[in-house]
Amino acid sequence: MGSFATTGINQVSVHPRSVEWEVRDAISAILEIALKPVGFRRQLQEILDVLVSISWLRAANKGAIFVTNGQRELVMVAQHELSAPLLDKCAKVPFGCCLCGRAAESKRVLFRNCVDHDHDIRFDGMEDHGHYNLPLTDPNGDVIGVVVLYLEHGHTPHSQELQFMEMLGHALSNVILSRDLKLKAEVNAIRLQQAQMDMLHKLVAASEFRDNETGAHIKRMTQYALCIGRRVGLGQEDLKLLELAAPMHDIGKVGIPDEILLKPGKLTAEEWAIMQRHAEIGANILSGTHELLRASRDIAWCHHEKWDGSGYPRGLKGEEIPLFARICALADVFDALTSERPYKSAWPVEDAIAFIQENSGSHFDPALVEAFTGGLREMLEIRLIYNDHDPEPTARKVVLREALPREGVVSWRASMSVGVDFIDKQHQYLIDLINRIHEGIEQGDTVAIVQALLDMKTYTEVHFTDEEDLMRRNGYPDLERHMALHQGFIEKTESFLVDFERYPLAIGSEFFHYLVNWLVHHIQKVDAEYGRYLAGKGDAVR
């Protein structure tokens, strides 16, 4: 804690026993709140409610708690009874600005018994008041936040206040540091897992580079498998394992000769027998005792087995087939049927669904087919995110018409349409992601926000590529500017993720407003210009 600065006025006495009991009760309440399994903002809100109710402080029943972000700014994360103008003007305060910012910059407790010349933030109708500005610091002496308590105008401090402020500062600093470390660990774990998944997908894609399948197939198939797994009740640990193991399903194809693997037509019986060996080759590659290797081996070896025992390579039947392999079998077939390949056209989604339902109990586990059918909306959204960037998006339009966003704070309006069906549907999904982020902010769920931002980053890269490809095919003259705007958005999203890694507690609403304003402006202004260009061409390739 820093030093204590006042205006030098006299101190008054309060009955020491009443002060002692209230101090003890307040600190005890703060520690109890710190142990509650609630969100960070709610936690600080409850702590602030305790502080403003301490009678001997003669508090004005108002206050705020700020945390520090990466730009040397204080972000308000909890408040009690502040007026609307203060909420607006004090949502984010730079170090050195007003009393709270000066307390942060000087690392000193600042007390004033009135609104004085250091109070930069003012507005018409602002009531006179006194106030404490209490900086919170980490073990290195860096300021991690500030507590502001409003007092009666002309407040005269008593002899116990300084000691209490010191105790309060240490207690709140520990609360914030504890939650900060916890959230950083959670955010870093998500980011690390994402990096691991990206690396794994790249390695598997490299092994399949000589195959006719694409990297998008790996991601789609994995996400389909996770959707099915969640719907049959797999726990988080099993889902994480499935997510890491599913991409390995066809790793054995590295051992299949090119003339068979890349053959555009139908394989002969002899060639098909050789192709089937990829399951056993994969099992041999993935031998080992680690649980990830065991799960990957089960999938690679058994994802071509069938529920009725007619599959390969071992003719396993029913629950003899490992669950992960049964899940991946269904996910792999659905993606294979609905994807374009050099040797076949993509099936309409409705036909692929019908095929899977018809083969429930023969090819596929009936319980998994039921889970698949129940999760179709999510499946279609997955196809929308991880597409193959087909030159002609006609086949994708069948999927996109079902991928409708949830209701939320931002809603799709007809005025947002650019006149290209699959682009409009992708914009709707972007709005869905923004609403997910808003839900995370409202619930104070940093982990949910980070996951949604990761999805946003992944999705926009896909959407922007689709949009740019369409513009390029239609000779759009403003393509370069459009691409620059897209790249700026991707970089901004990444900067938000980096900020969350370093300052996960300073979740302000500014990035949400950025996302909303950028997206709505981009759709209604920038993309609308392209829509008018297409309409003028008449014979545009869509």
Co-location of 500 and 371 in the same domain? no
Q: Which residues contact 527 (CB under 8 A, 6 or more apart)?
A: 418, 423, 427, 467
Domain termination residue (choose one: 117, 148, 182): 182
Phi, psi angles (nearest 5°) of residue 158: -100, 180
* Domain that includes residue 428, residue range: 405-542
Residue given tokens 């297409």 in the structure block: 534
CB 529, CB 493: distance < 8 Å: no
- Residue 504 is classified by DSSP as T
73-80 β-sheet, strand order: 4-5, 109-112, 130-137, 143-151, 59-68, 73-80, 92-94
Q: How many CB atoms lie within 10 A of CB 109?
A: 24
Residue 313 vs residues 263, 265, 484: alpha-carbon distances, Å? 21, 23, 50
Q: Kindly report the pTM of this predicted structure.
A: 0.59
Domain termination residue (choose one: 373, 403, 433): 403
Query: Is 190 part of a structural domain of the chain?
Result: no
What pLDDT score does 481 carry?
A: 93
What pLDDT score does 8 carry?
A: 40
Domain termination residue (choose one: 403, 426, 441): 403
119: CATH: 3.30.450.40
Co-location of 398 and 412 in the same domain? no
Query: Is 167 part of a structural domain of the chain?
Result: yes
What pLDDT score does 394 carry?
A: 33
What pLDDT score does 202 carry?
A: 61
Phi, psi angles (nearest 5°) of residue 538: 80, -55
329: CATH: 1.10.3210.10
Query: Is 100 part of a structural domain of the chain?
Result: yes
State the total domains in the chain.
3
Indicate the residue type of 403: A
Short-list 93, 79, 76, 95, CA closest to 142: 95
Co-location of 459 and 520 in the same domain? yes
**Up-side HSE of residue 384: CA atoms within 13 Å toward CB?**
30
Mean pLDDT of residues grouped by 10 in the chain (542 residues)? 44 54 80 82 86 76 88 89 85 91 92 76 74 90 91 76 80 87 83 70 58 68 94 92 89 84 84 92 84 90 96 95 97 91 82 95 96 91 69 33 51 84 83 85 77 81 85 91 92 84 76 83 87 76 53
Co-location of 62 and 92 in the same domain? yes
